[in-house]
């Protein structure tokens, strides 16, 4: 593939703009650790919302969606569409609570909610566990996608890709801090959206594809179009739709979709001007992330089935690609090589934007854990603000190096999704309930974290998993004690039973800790009645808001919001498919749900304007 001067010009202007923003805000970002990691807590909802969307618009996402569509069809996306429920629960229940907590990172939450040595251990260990281990895995997946794009579209080696992309991104991240990330995300969002929509429009109208009508009727595509899996394939129906909607969304920790909020989404909520801005940002993110943004990628994935029907055809077209990197996810990059001059430059710039936005967010987020929750707590408690910023910048570089090494060892986009989902299985309920059930203590979370990891290793990498759930050898499946799709629910059930037992077998948190937490966050609900009574008995008033508990209304808003966003998802899809009658029906459902949601939002006193 040959780039023209126009393509190079577009790419150069984009990268210069990003680096300039990083340099301009570097002085203010370096003033304190709060500025470097939270930009002074004065960000508006719309800027944070665009940043959330841009951050999850990573280079591995279109590759991942392409992999899913080519293997399981459009309906295969329910394995991540189900996380919408998690996202809306964060919007209408947890966003305000996070902003009220006023912590520097979501890891600091542990010493607000829990007390004593278990809380200190949990904060320190989990900051390394998530900020280093899981964060590195997430970044490695993004970098792997960049490697595949570079190999297919530019003919670069793996080392050349990570050398160029990694150096620019780590420089920008270390210099600009969180403020630089937020400001550039606003630019990156529009560049990335223009690139993905432009690519989808051009590629679907290639002579080989023949436009949307021809694409919809092509024999390679017809079996992939359904937005819901067929009941005729019961195992696929259960694994792709039922388990994600019934179990996965509330039970598993996943970056950007943590039950109860957390991670880089929590970082942005904590940086908001106030509670309502935190709510507005997360709602805007969920609408854009689930309802609108996936469709350009899905269209390209479907078109790729016409031009590259299998992996062998991709390998034939791109013989220089390393064999270890071959997979269905490579089809997205392969399709982009067919773009014309100008649009090609814009798409490459958009992919660069996606890469930089996601990696810079993960670097700043992971670095915030290392600085606030590990270095300051366990290495130097008296560190100055300038020292904390220096450590933040150094840890940014180290995280980039480690994630690059891991990326070079990976093969395809779905590997990391499966690993992260399984290792977080069963922990989600703790994150949801810890705000509203005072009996949960630090040992509950410690147990959930370790048991989930241990059981996941046993069922995935030892004979125990083979004995329980069977295995596939030479395309022949050998049955186990349970059916294969029960593996994930098994991990969730075992983990949940263990942490619940430990919760009741260990002492509850001290009243002083619980009083302080309740007074600061005001979670409300029946799970705190004993704590409120204990405070009254000691003549301590911890209830500031005497109004009715808003969580039931928030949960109703989650249900209505889910209908509205899924309705918008189906409306968009049906219009694209040319099924205008069905699209009109889903549009009516979407509008009805949206007006109902507006009423509920007002009851929750939501206001961001």
Question: Who has greater pLDDT, 387 or 351?
Answer: 387
According to the per-residue pLDDT averaged within each range, which of 102-106, 418-422, 431-435 is highest?
431-435
pLDDT at 547 over 80: no
HEC assignment per residue over 47-116: HHHHHHHHHCCCCHHHHHHHHHHHHHCHHHHHHHHCCHHHHHHHHHHHHHHHHHHCCCCCCCHHHHHCCH
d(CA 416, CA 135): 11
d(CA 580, CA 179): 43
Q: How confident is the model at residue 38 (pLDDT cuts 50, 70, 90)?
A: low
According to the per-residue pLDDT averaged within each range, which of 270-284, 293-307, 419-433 is highest?
293-307
Question: Who has greater pLDDT, 18 or 94?
Answer: 94
Q: Region 320-339: what's the mean pLDDT?
A: 83
Q: Region 576-605: what's the mean pLDDT?
A: 92
Q: Give 117's contacts (C-beta < 8 A, 6+ positions apart).
A: none
Question: Do 200 and 296 form a contact (C-beta atoms < 8 A)?
Answer: yes
- Residues in a beta bridge with 272: 43
> What is the per-residue pLDDT for 189?
84
Q: pLDDT (tens digit, 9 = 90+) per residue, 229-270? A: 988 888 889 999 999 999 988 988 777 678 888 777 777 888
Nearest to 100 by CA among 39, 41, 43, 37: 41
pLDDT at 487 over 70: yes
Pair of tokens at residue 389: 């910023």
CA distances from 194 to 71, 243, 573 (A): 27, 34, 19
Q: Give 392's contacts (C-beta < 8 A, 6+ positions apart).
A: 33, 36, 37, 177, 367, 368, 370, 371
How many percent of the chain have pLDDT more than 70? 92
Helix, strand, coil % over all residues of the chain, rounded to 5: 75, 0, 25
d(CA 420, CA 512): 36
Q: pLDDT (tens digit, 9 = 90+) per residue, 269-288? A: 888 888 888 888 889 989 98
Q: pLDDT (tens digit, 9 = 90+) per residue, 51-61? A: 888 877 777 78
Pair of tokens at residue 194: 């223009």
d(CA 276, CA 605): 9
Q: What's the mean pLDDT when you consider all of the chain? A: 85
> What is the per-residue pLDDT for 609?
38
pLDDT at 554 over 60: yes
Q: What angle do CA 538, 542, 543 make, to 5 degrees?
A: 130
> What is the per-residue pLDDT for 130?
78
Question: Do 430 and 440 form a contact (C-beta atoms < 8 A)?
Answer: yes
Q: How confident is the model at residue 608 (pLDDT cuts 50, 70, 90)?
A: very low
Q: pLDDT (tens digit, 9 = 90+) per residue, 505-530? A: 999 999 999 999 999 999 999 999 99
> What is the per-residue pLDDT for 418?
67
pLDDT at 34 over 70: no
According to the per-residue pLDDT averaged within each range, which of 157-166, 174-183, 196-205 is highest?
196-205
d(CA 300, CA 564): 26
d(CA 101, CA 238): 38
> What is the per-residue pLDDT for 430?
93
**DSSP states along 167-187:** HHHHHHHHHHHHHHHHHHHHH
Q: Give 310's contacts (C-beta < 8 A, 6+ positions apart).
A: none
How many percent of the chain have pLDDT more than 90? 36
Q: Give 405's contacts (C-beta < 8 A, 6+ positions apart).
A: none
Question: Who has greater pLDDT, 61 or 533?
Answer: 533
Q: How confident is the model at residue 184 (pLDDT cuts 50, 70, 90)?
A: confident
- Residues in a beta bridge with 43: 272
Among 139-148, 216-225, 511-520, 549-558, the range scoring the smallest mean pLDDT is 139-148
Q: Give 356's contacts (C-beta < 8 A, 6+ positions apart).
A: 18, 165, 168, 169, 172, 184, 188
Q: Region 315-322: what's the mean pLDDT?
A: 83
Helix axes 60-72, 414-423, angle to 10 degrees: 90
> What is the per-residue pLDDT for 37?
67
Q: How confident is the model at residue 471 (pLDDT cuts 50, 70, 90)?
A: confident
pLDDT at 591 over 90: yes
pLDDT at 19 over 90: no
How large is the C-alpha radius of gyration of the chain? 24
Question: Who has greater pLDDT, 65 or 144?
Answer: 65
């Amino acid at each position: 593939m040959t780039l023209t001067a126009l393509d190079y010009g577009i790419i150069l202007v984009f990268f210069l703009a990003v680096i300039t923003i990083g340099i301009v805000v570097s002085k203010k970002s370096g003033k304190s650790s709060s500025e470097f990691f939270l930009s002074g807590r004065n960000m508006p909802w719309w800027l944070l919302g665009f940043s959330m969307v841009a951050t999850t618009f990573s280079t591995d996402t279109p590759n991942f969606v392409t992999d899913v569509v080519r293997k399981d069809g459009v309906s295969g996306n329910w394995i991540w569409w189900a996380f919408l429920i998690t996202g809306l629960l964060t919007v209408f229940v947890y966003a305000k609570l996070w902003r009220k907590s006023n912590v520097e990172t979501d890891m600091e939450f542990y010493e607000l909610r829990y007390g004593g040595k278990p809380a200190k251990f949990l904060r320190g260990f989990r900051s390394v566990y998530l900020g280093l281990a899981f964060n590195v895995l997430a970044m490695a997946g993004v970098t792997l996608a960049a490697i595949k794009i570079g190999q297919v579209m530019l003919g670069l080696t793996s080392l050349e890709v990570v050398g160029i992309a990694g150096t620019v991104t780590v420089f920008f991240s270390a210099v600009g801090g969180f403020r630089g990330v937020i400001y550039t995300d606003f630019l990156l969002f529009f560049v990335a959206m223009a690139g993905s929509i432009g690519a989808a429009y051009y590629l679907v109208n290639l002579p080989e594809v023949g436009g949307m009508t021809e694409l919809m009727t092509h024999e390679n595509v017809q079996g992939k179009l359904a937005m819901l899996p067929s009941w005729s394939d019961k195992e696929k129906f259960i694994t792709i739709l039922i388990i994600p909607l019934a179990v996965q969304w509330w039970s598993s920790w996943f970056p950007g979709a943590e039950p109860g909020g957390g991670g880089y989404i929590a970082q942005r909520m904590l940086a908001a001007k106030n509670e309502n801005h935190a709510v507005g940002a997360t709602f805007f993110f969920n609408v854009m992330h689930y309802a609108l943004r996936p469709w350009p990628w899905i269209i390209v994935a479907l078109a790729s089935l016409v031009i590259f029907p299998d992996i062998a055809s991709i390998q034939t077209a791109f013989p220089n690609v390393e064999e270890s990197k071959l997979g269905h996810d490579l089809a997205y990059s392969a399709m982009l090589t067919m773009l014309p001059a100008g649009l090609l430059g814009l798409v490459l710039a958009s992919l660069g934007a996606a890469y930089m936005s996601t990696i810079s967010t993960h670097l700043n987020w992971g670095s915030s854990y290392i600085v606030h929750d590990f270095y300051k707590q366990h290495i130097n408690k008296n560190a100055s603000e300038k020292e904390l910023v220096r450590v933040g910048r150094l840890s940014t570089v180290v995280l980039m190096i480690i994630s690059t090494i891991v990326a070079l060892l990976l093969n395809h986009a779905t590997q990391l999704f499966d690993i992260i989902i399984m290792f977080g299985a069963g922990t989600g309920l703790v994150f949801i309930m810890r705000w509203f059930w005072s009996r949960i203590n630090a040992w509950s979370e410690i147990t959930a974290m370790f048991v989930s990891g241990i059981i996941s290793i046993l069922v995935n990498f030892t004979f125990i998993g083979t004995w329980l759930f069977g295995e596939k050898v030479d395309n022949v499946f050998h049955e186990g004690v349970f059916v294969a799709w029960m593996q994930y629910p098994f991990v969730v059930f075992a983990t949940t039973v263990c942490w619940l037992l430990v919760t009741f077998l260990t002492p509850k948190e001290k009243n002083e800790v619980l009083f302080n937490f309740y007074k600061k966050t005001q979670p409300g609900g029946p799970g705190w009645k004993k704590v409120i009574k204990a405070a009254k008995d000691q003549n301590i008033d911890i209830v500031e808001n005497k109004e009715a508990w808003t969580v039931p209304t928030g949960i109703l808003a989650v249900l209505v919001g889910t209908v509205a966003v899924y309705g918008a998802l189906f409306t968009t899809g049906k219009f694209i498919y040319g099924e205008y009658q069905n699209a009109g029906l889903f549009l009516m459902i979407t509008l009805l749900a949206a007006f109902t949601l507006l009423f509920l939002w007002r009851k929750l006193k939501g206001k961001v304007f």
